[in-house]
Amino acid sequence: MSTRIFGSGIKRREDPRLITGEARYTDDIKLPGVLHMAVVRSPYAHANIVSIDSSAAEAMDGVVAVYTGDDLEGLAGLPTAWLIPDSDLKTPEHPALAKGKARYVGDGVAIVLAGDRYQAQDAADAVVVEYEELPAVIDPEEAAQEGAPLIHDDVEGNIAFKWAPFDKEASDAVFEAADVVVSERILQQRLLPTAMEPRSAMAQYNPATAELTLWCTSQNPHIHRFIISAVTGLNENKVRVIAPEVGGGFGSKIPCYPDEALVSWAAMQLGVPVKWTETRSENYLITIHGRDHVQHVDMAASSDGKILGVRATVYAGMGGYLSTAAPGIPTILHGLLYVGPYTIDSVYCESIGVMTNGTPTDAYRGAGRPEATFLLERMIDNVAKKIGMDPAEVRRKNLIPAFEDGYDVAAGLTYDSGDYPVAFEKALGMAGYGEFRRQQKSAAAQGRYLGIGVTAYTEMCGLGPSQVAGAVGFQGGLWESATVRVTPTGKVQALIGASPHGQGSETTLAQIIADELGFAVDDIEVIHGDTTETPMGWGTYGSRTTPVTGAALAKASQKLKEKAKTLAAHLMEASEDDIEYADGSFSVKGSPDQTQSIQDVALMAHLAWNMPEGMDPGFEESQFYDPPNFVFPFGTHIAIVEVDSETGEIELQRYIAVDDCGPQINPEIVAGQIHGGVVQGIAQALCEGVIYDENGQLLTGTMMDYCMPKADMFPNFELGETVTPSPHHPVGVKGVGETGTIASTPTVYNAVLDALAPLGVEQIDMPLTSAKVWQAIQDANGGGS
């Protein structure tokens, strides 16, 4: 038996084009005669647009056209595509260019089309817009108060939705009867997703055929096609969306944005290709932001550490408009996660979606689940402190015991499989938890402040059953489809509807096919990102490509293998019952010399000279796959930090991550997902955070001002794994794209607060910059230095 390719950390098949600079991202693609689009953007967070004078701009060199919101005839506004039921949802109009009023800094007011990007930007600067500034509001809790500036006339009180699906009376009863209740106001600060490739879009329209091609930075080109068709009025079969190489997304390339609609519309108006690429400052102003919750959280527990209930009121900032999936993030993807890996029998969540004068928010890596995991883990540490029990012990006491096939939790989900205690004890063992507690004590005696944070988590990903998607108002399905096509010479093209953009899926998905069919990985090309070339799919987000597309490919491959077996038996004039298969080769039991390789069979299927009765020619199978449930990866993360009490500086000394995503197809790729996710989550705890001033001006508008994590902030990570297959998945795998981000923020936050406990510091709003930590130490010691 040869080594299985499934489970092998082979080098990525994507990399040769990436390490040589030969990969083509959207902005790298050139079309002759292309015009560049620049967008005139509101410098005010909230302002009436009094007048727009584009005459000077129109007269400038290279300028072909200037359009304002009133000119966009035939271009519909951008839709919101997650319509949460039973929430009194309002979906204010979102025109591609603001009409009458701008609602955040960066809101588009006019576009300029010119011969090159320098000319376009010069002319955009020459468009004179007169504004009447209005009071602005950024904080979602403030925006929900009476008297706050009204952002949309048809969204009363700025409340876009109120979602509270759980039984409030039952929850209140649990809290009234509990020995211990702890409370905290938690700020989940706004974050900038910051995919390293800024967004870009280029459209080409052929008037003779009425066909539009849109190249864009998309995580889901089929959804982009759907929306672009809807807003332009073109038939969907006349719209081709191509996501070429895409340089990261983290959720920020899920939504369909005004800019993508505008280049499409302008290309249709002018009959020439139109391109737009955002600058990083533009990206920070207009590409969605993540998080932005103000949470009022309570946890009830018994005096011996049994967690009895959790409840929260969440004000979730939506920004100036409701982005594509925005309402689903602080609701379905958040409140349903309030149990975590614990036996918590009572949950309550009231999530209030609030319009503000900030940039629209939407899914950012983890999307709702990090905000849920953080509040649970923070409150567990608060309970531990209150009852004087070690926080690891409180967690141990409340973990759900191992289960293999389904576990119903109070939040309404059915977890697929889990063995939380094993991952938990493994992580504690790797960290040397008991020994650390002793070191911490002796360090404290020397005036050194060490801290440890422990997070046990589970999350739902692999989104998701389409019936559930429909029930929760998602305006799409959440299945995937794939075609495995074998050429006459035995080479494989695997066509998928999902659209990976850095995850390494061209490698891992090829490993699934290779494992099922015996082809060499190097003979398998995974093709994605083009709505004309690939079958329908809903995209790459929610850690769903490996679980959902992977399942479609596994099942398509299994169908091909059945066909191959029947054909091989026929060709070898043997009974199918006597056919044996190993490593891509069929043989007849008892006569090992007689074989048909999978390549032989593929050729014969194409030639179709000698087919069994009733078998169609060709060697290709397609599969639609709708998962019966989400998948629920889990694990335990531990951080060890030291805080300098003189300066407030935090040193992250160790980071241990034990994750269980089922069987790992490629352990190196899994590790990479965890490393990257962990850094993103730690950065939320320690340094990242959007800052607006009181007028709604973005003060963290460049990488000079927004703290991106750098290499020297981190130690080498210590990774461990456990393997608990998903019972409902054809090859048992779970998603791993978001686990690191979900687990790491509370882990590091709690470690820092653990270190600060002897100094009397109980709470600091994230991010834990040295200035804030220093100030908190001063405040705890009698206010001021």
Partner 1 sequence: MQVAITVNGVVHERDVDPRTLLVHFLREELDLTGTKIGCDTSQCGACTVQLDGKVLKSCTLLAVQADGAEVTTIEGLAENGEHHPMQTAFWENHGLQCGYCTPGMIMASAAFVRDNPGASEGEIRHYLEGNICRCTGYHNIVKAVKQVADAAAGA
Task: Indicate whether 196 belongs to the interface with partner 1 (CB under 8 A).
Answer: yes
Are residues 374 and 186 in contact, defined by beta-carbon separation less than 8 angstroms? yes
Q: What helix, strand, coil percent values describe the chain, rounded to 5?
A: 30, 25, 45
Tell me whether residue 365 or residue 570 sits nearer to partner 1 (CB atom). 365
Task: Indicate whether 15 belongs to the interface with partner 1 (CB under 8 A).
Answer: yes
Q: What is the separation of C-alpha 365 from the centre of its chain, rounded to a whole number of angstroms?
A: 3
Q: Out of 8, 23, 430, 558, which residue is the one contacting partner 1 (CB under 8 A)?
A: 23
Q: How do beta strands 585-588 and 346-355 pair? A: unpaired
Closest distance to partner 1 from the beta carbon of 583 (Å): 26
Are residues 184 and 378 in contact, defined by beta-carbon separation less than 8 angstroms? yes
Please state, as a whole number, how many other Cβ atoms lie within 10 Å of the Cβ of residue 551: 27
Tell me whether residue 29 or residue 603 sits nearer to partner 1 (CB atom). 29
From residue 705, give the alpha-carbon distance in Å to each of 198, 284, 286, 693. 17, 11, 16, 13
Question: Rounded to the nearest 10 degrees, how much is the dihedral formed by the CA atoms of 662, 663, 668, 673?
Answer: -20
Tell me whether residue 116 or residue 236 sits nearer to partner 1 (CB atom). 116
3-state secondary structure (DSSP) of residue 299: strand
Where residue 291 falls (left for φ over 0; alpha for ψ -120 to 50; beta otherwise) is left
Task: Indicate whether 361 belongs to the interface with partner 1 (CB under 8 A).
Answer: no
Q: Out of 24, 168, 185, 438, which residue is the one contacting partner 1 (CB under 8 A)?
A: 24
β partners of residue 408: 414
Task: Indicate whether 520 belongs to the interface with partner 1 (CB under 8 A).
Answer: no
Residue ranges of alpha helices (H) inside 433-519 are 433-445, 466-471, 505-517
Task: Indicate whether 671 belongs to the interface with partner 1 (CB under 8 A).
Answer: yes
Tell me whether residue 279 or residue 781 sits nearer to partner 1 (CB atom). 279
Tell me whether residue 443 or residue 707 sits nearer to partner 1 (CB atom). 707
Tell me whether residue 22 or residue 583 sits nearer to partner 1 (CB atom). 22
Determine the Cα–Cα distance for residues 228 and 316; give it in Å rounded to an integer: 28
Closest distance to partner 1 from the beta carbon of 574 (Å): 44
Task: Indicate whether 539 belongs to the interface with partner 1 (CB under 8 A).
Answer: no
Task: Indicate whether 168 belongs to the interface with partner 1 (CB under 8 A).
Answer: no
Tell me whether residue 409 or residue 719 sits nearer to partner 1 (CB atom). 719
Closest distance to partner 1 from the beta carbon of 297 (Å): 29
Strand order in the sheet with 108-114: 63-68, 108-114, 35-41, 274-277, 200-206, 211-216, 239-242
Task: Indicate whether 699 belongs to the interface with partner 1 (CB under 8 A).
Answer: no
Are residues 774 and 473 in contact, defined by beta-carbon separation less than 8 angstroms? no
Q: What is the separation of C-alpha 470 from the centre of its chain, rounded to a whole number of angstroms?
A: 20
Task: Indicate whether 545 belongs to the interface with partner 1 (CB under 8 A).
Answer: no
Rg (CA), the chain: 28
x/- letters, 736..765, toward partner 1 (CB under 8 A): ----x-------------------------
Q: Out of 717, 736, 756, 776, which residue is the one contacting partner 1 (CB under 8 A)?
A: 717
x/- letters, 240..269, toward partner 1 (CB under 8 A): -----xxxx-x-------------------
∠ Cα 213 539 245 (to 5°):
55
Determine the Cα–Cα distance for residues 108 and 566; give it in Å rounded to an integer: 60
Rounded to 10°, the helix 770-780/739-756 angle is 40
Q: What is the separation of C-alpha 359 from the centre of its chain, rounded to a whole number of angstroms?
A: 18
Q: How many residues bind partner 1, per CB under 8 A?
A: 59
Closest distance to partner 1 from the beta carbon of 682 (Å): 9
Tokens 């679980």 correspond to what residue?
A: 547
Position 156, amino acid: E
Task: Indicate whether 12 belongs to the interface with partner 1 (CB under 8 A).
Answer: yes
Q: Out of 21, 614, 782, 783, which residue is the one contacting partner 1 (CB under 8 A)?
A: 21
Are residues 84 and 335 in contact, defined by beta-carbon separation less than 8 angstroms? no
Tell me whether residue 629 or residue 744 sits nearer to partner 1 (CB atom). 744
Determine the Cα–Cα distance for residues 671 and 657; give it in Å rounded to an integer: 10
Q: Out of 305, 320, 391, 677, which residue is the one contacting partner 1 (CB under 8 A)?
A: 677
x/- letters, 422..461, toward partner 1 (CB under 8 A): ----------------------------------------
Q: Out of 213, 534, 596, 680, which residue is the one contacting partner 1 (CB under 8 A)?
A: 680
β partners of residue 315: 294, 352
Task: Indicate whether 689 belongs to the interface with partner 1 (CB under 8 A).
Answer: no
Q: Out of 1, 208, 445, 704, which residue is the one contacting partner 1 (CB under 8 A)?
A: 704
Tell me whether residue 16 or residue 74 sits nearer to partner 1 (CB atom). 16
Task: Indicate whether 679 belongs to the interface with partner 1 (CB under 8 A).
Answer: yes
Task: Indicate whether 773 belongs to the interface with partner 1 (CB under 8 A).
Answer: no
Determine the Cα–Cα distance for residues 6 and 89; give it in Å rounded to an integer: 45
φ, ψ dihedrals at 134, nearest 5°:
-115, 160
Task: Indicate whether 198 belongs to the interface with partner 1 (CB under 8 A).
Answer: yes
Position 220, amino acid: N
Segment interacting with partner 1, rule: CB under 8 A, options 136-144, 239-247, 726-734, 760-768 = 239-247
x/- letters, 266..305, toward partner 1 (CB under 8 A): -------------xxx------------------------
Tell me whether residue 15 or residue 70 sits nearer to partner 1 (CB atom). 15
Determine the Cα–Cα distance for residues 485 and 492; give it in Å rounded to an integer: 6
Residues that bind partner 1 (CB under 8 A): 9, 11-12, 14-25, 27-28, 30, 116, 118, 194-198, 245-248, 250, 279-281, 501-504, 668-669, 671-672, 674-680, 702-704, 708, 710-712, 714, 716-717, 740
